[in-house]
């Protein structure tokens, strides 16, 4: 499938009506103390439009001094023209400056509000949304709003002023010529808009075809081993040739549209000018119009014609902005979790770590037809290590999600220190927990920044000690930059075992009461697993630990092993107790792994 870069050209439009405008006006809630910049910018916008309308009238007046043989006002009118141009330049500068200033401040507040709201949304929301779509709303949609607030609205209003003011002045100069002009210009403007849509559509299709051909190149080069192994060079050549030929066809079609458009504009535009001048000269020959007024009329006609052509495109941009605004506010209208993230605080109310799962039943909101957990009950005392095992899809990781309150159980409850977990604030609850997952996500900064994520205000010595306990100091000190080593996107510059030890150091630094290890060593080789397991053993000391594992060899020392199958607890006990149960699930899984080894 071809990859397409979604930019503002691809954004869908929304109808502009009372409802959509009401939603759009919510944007001005984020203007804050910058309202005066908006109002002042509007004033300068009116002054810019007004000076633009005065200019053709004064230019016509300059020509009329020759026609009326009244040369005494030539210099005076010339000076006034310079003053008008100067005023218009000054007004335009302040209009643009003020609109950009208020827009950037408004959008900064909007971006912060959307991001702040987004990170407080529950996991249920993220399970149903694609990251690419959310990223598009934060980038392409807000970029469209930015363009609209900065230039589109101001330009739309300016064009509207020129159309209304221009037509009024045209009627004052010559009602007859105005009727002729109004019969011609809208036709040319509408045709230009229609042609423009065809051209833009064809251009987008050409870009899509180019993207498809680039995808073929990328796939071929990435899989060059397979291409050569299957001797498919000829096939790939034909595939690329077919793709490029489609580009040629679409590009030629676009050229036809552009050529026809250019011919149409040349004929209609200059034809309209000829018609207006011809009729104006006729009126002048009958002393019904002065040549100076004719020149003013032609300039106003050009203003009105250009504004008619531009305002349709600007209206389309406004429709896109309305649609973009609605999509952004869809995020802000989502109900978020009740979090206290105004400031990252130390854990004040530290829990002991006694956990009870009491008749837990759960179904994911996106898969309501499948019950993931059914009446799951077990107890974990302070400092105990509880291993949770079972086949894939049995609900092991779901228990971790419920403990962290990413979701709440449909039935039953989770008690922490004999208190329902729902009665803890989410921030307080999660500050008492840490998780080391199978697929560790590191941020693109340095090793120090990633470890300090567990405690942002940690000192260098605390970070170093956490790395030591995680068996990470040796490999960290092997890098020239040591703790300042940049790990790359998602930690790509580190091996799997190194990423796991950074995650363990992060958990050590957080010093949680409850620790969750979700398949923390399952994707590692034997040597990496040994080093990581040593670090995990140190980390689990004195904490209530929940170890989700596939490899049974890593959980034999657990205080209790919970065996889950199809969402239910099938067995519970120590390794020694469960291995003796005839036809027990734990015993069968243990034998299977021993045979495979």
Q: Is the pLDDT of residue 597 over 50?
A: no
Query: What is the band of 98 on the pLDDT scale with cuts at 50, 70, 90?
Result: confident
Q: What is the pLDDT of residues 430-468, one digit of tens each?
A: 888 888 887 777 877 888 888 888 788 888 888 888 888
Mean pLDDT of all residues in 330-358? 73
Give the separation between CA 258 and CA 256, rounded to whole angstroms.
Answer: 6
Predicted local confidence at residue 2, as pLDDT: 39
19/453: higher pLDDT: 453
Predicted local confidence at residue 126, as pLDDT: 76
* H or E stretch covering 2: none
Predicted local confidence at residue 342, as pLDDT: 56
Token readout for 86 is: 């100067």
446/296: higher pLDDT: 446
Predicted local confidence at residue 195, as pLDDT: 72
Q: Would you give the DSSP letter of residue 224?
A: H
Query: What is the band of 71 on the pLDDT scale with cuts at 50, 70, 90?
Result: low
Asked if 5 and 135 count as a contact pair (C-beta separation under 8 A), the reply is no
Predicted local confidence at residue 594, as pLDDT: 62
Query: What is the band of 593 on the pLDDT scale with cuts at 50, 70, 90?
Result: low
Give the separation between CA 400 and CA 394, rounded to whole angstroms.
Answer: 13
Place of tokens 């020239």: 480
Predicted local confidence at residue 1, as pLDDT: 39
Closest CA to 408 of 420, 394, 393, 391: 420
Kindly give the pairing relationship between strand 385-389 and strand 544-548: parallel
Mean pLDDT of all residues in 507-518? 85
Mean pLDDT of all residues in 12-19? 62
Query: What is the band of 6 on the pLDDT scale with cuts at 50, 70, 90?
Result: very low
Give the separation between CA 162 and CA 304, rounded to whole angstroms.
Answer: 6
Q: What is the pLDDT of residues 261-289, one digit of tens each?
A: 777 767 776 777 777 778 777 777 777 77
Predicted local confidence at residue 525, as pLDDT: 64
Closest CA to 530 of 557, 509, 554: 554
| Helix residue spans in 223-360 (DSSP H) | 224-229, 233-285, 291-332
Asked if 387 and 561 count as a contact pair (C-beta separation under 8 A), the reply is yes
- Residue length of the chain: 597
């Amino acid at each position: 499938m071809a990859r397409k870069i979604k930019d503002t050209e691809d954004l869908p439009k929304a109808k502009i009506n009372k409802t959509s405008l009401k939603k759009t006006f919510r944007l001005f809630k984020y203007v804050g103390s910058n309202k005066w910049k908006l109002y002042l910018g509007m004033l300068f916008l009116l002054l810019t439009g007004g000076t633009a309308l005065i200019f053709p009238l004064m230019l016509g007046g300059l020509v009329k001094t020759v026609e009326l043989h009244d040369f005494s006002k030539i210099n005076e009118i010339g000076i006034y023209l310079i003053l008008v141009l100067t005023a218009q330049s000054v007004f335009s500068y302040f209009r643009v400056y003020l609109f950009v200033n208020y827009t950037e401040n408004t959008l900064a507040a909007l971006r912060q509000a959307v991001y702040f709201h987004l990170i407080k949304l529950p996991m249920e929301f993220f399970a149903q949304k694609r990251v690419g779509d959310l990223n598009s709303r934060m980038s392409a949609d807000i970029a469209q709003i930015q363009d609209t607030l900065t230039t589109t609205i101001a330009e739309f209003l300016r064009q509207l002023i020129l159309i209304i003011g221009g037509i009024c002045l045209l009627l004052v100069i010559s009602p007859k010529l105005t009727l002729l002009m109004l019969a011609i210009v809208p036709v040319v403007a509408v045709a230009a808009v229609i042609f423009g849509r065809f051209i833009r559509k064809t251009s987008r299709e050409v870009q899509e075809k180019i993207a498809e051909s680039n995808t073929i190149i990328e796939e071929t080069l990435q899989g060059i081993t397979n291409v050569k192994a299957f001797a498919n060079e000829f096939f790939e050549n034909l595939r690329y040739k077919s793709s490029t030929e489609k580009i040629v066809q679409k590009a030629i079609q676009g050229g036809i549209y552009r050529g026809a458009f250019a011919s149409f504009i040349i004929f209609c535009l200059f034809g309209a000018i000829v018609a207006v001048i011809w009729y104006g000269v006729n009126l002048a020959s009958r002393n019904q119009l002065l040549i100076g007024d004719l020149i003013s009329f032609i300039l106003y006609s050009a203003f009105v014609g250009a504004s008619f052509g531009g305002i349709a495109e600007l209206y389309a941009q406004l429709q896109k902005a309305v649609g973009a605004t609605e999509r952004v506010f869809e995020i802000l209208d989502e109900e978020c979790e009740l979090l206290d993230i105004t400031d990252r605080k130390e854990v004040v109310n530290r829990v002991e770590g006694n956990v009870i799962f009491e008749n837990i039943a759960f179904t994911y909101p996106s898969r309501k037809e499948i019950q993931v957990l059914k009446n799951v009950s077990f107890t974990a005392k302070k400092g105990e290590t509880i291993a949770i095992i079972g086949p894939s899809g049995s609900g092991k990781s779901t228990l971790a999600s419920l403990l962290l309150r990413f979701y709440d159980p449909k039935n039953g409850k989770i008690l922490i220190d004999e208190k329902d977990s729902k009665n803890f604030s989410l921030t307080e609850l999660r500050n008492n927990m840490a998780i080391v997952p199978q697929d560790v996500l590191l941020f693109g900064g340095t090793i120090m920044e990633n470890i300090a994520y567990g405690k942002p205000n940690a000192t260098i010595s605390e970070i170093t000690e956490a790395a030591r306990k995680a068996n990470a100091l040796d490999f960290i000190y092997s890098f020239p930059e040591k703790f300042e080593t940049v790990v790359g996107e998602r930690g790509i510059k580190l091996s799997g075992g190194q990423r796991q030890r950074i995650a363990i150091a992060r958990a050590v630094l957080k010093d949680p009461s409850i620790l969750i290890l979700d398949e923390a060593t399952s994707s590692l080789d034997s040597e990496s697993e040994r080093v990581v397991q040593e670090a995990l053993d140190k980390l689990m000391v004195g904490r209530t630990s929940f170890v989700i594992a596939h490899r049974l060899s890593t959980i034999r020392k657990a205080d209790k092993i919970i065996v889950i199958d199809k969402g239910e607890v099938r067995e519970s006990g120590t390794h020694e107790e469960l291995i003796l149960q005839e036809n027990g699930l734990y015993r069968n899984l243990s034998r299977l792994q021993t045979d495979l080894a």
